[in-house]
Structure 1
Amino acid sequence: MSKNSYQKPSPQTQDEALKIAKRIQRPAQTKEQTKLITQGIQQGIDLYKRQQKEKARELNKQRKKLANQQAPLREQDDEEVREIIVYRQHWLPWTLLITTWLGIGLYVAVAHVF
């Protein structure tokens, strides 16, 4: 199917074009003239729809391209963050633990002697 082939407009487009043509119809205008105006309006609506679809496709392509370009950058940022993170513990719990074990050891040693 070639790109320039004419496709029949949708029924909604035909109805909308007919309504618009009847609203702008002049008193001395023939049915043939109204029909030609309706066809022109249909072609205009179809052209507008095609242009909007093309714009949407282009925006989608650009969005995908940006996402693909930013994906490696995000991975590099994640790796850098992983390398920077260092877990440090506070000295107080270890000091209390060692002091407690020393105290228990001294108590058992002194209690064993007496």
Structure 2
Amino acid sequence: SESDEGCDGGEGGGISLPKATVLRAIKDLLPKGLRCSSEAGNLIMECCMELLRMLSDEANVLCTTEKKQTIGPDHIIKSLKSLGFAEWSQQMEHVLDAFKEAERKRPKKKRNPMLGSGV
């Protein structure tokens, strides 16, 4: 459809970001009284998709070079640095550290011994 035009990132095989969510984020980030045209919103979405493609391609290369089968947070952070986004990589390291700390503090769910018992 016309509303989806330009959102799949070209050769991305139909992969796209949720348009309404992205447009809502743009609207929420703009100062009060400032609007974003539909064309500008679509351009931002295309830029986001291109960044995601570049980041995932770079992370995939790093992962393959290290003979790993799963892209991890360290691959993403290294990819940000190698793509020239060192400042972002520092921010992501802080976010990752905060996430790990929150996970450590979160109570562990106890495994139900009845699961898988056939009862």
Which protein has the larger Cα radius of gyration, Structure 1 or Structure 2? 1
TM-score by length of 1: 0.37
Which one scores higher on RCO, CA 8 angstroms, separation ≥ 6? 1
Pick the structure with more helix per residue: 1
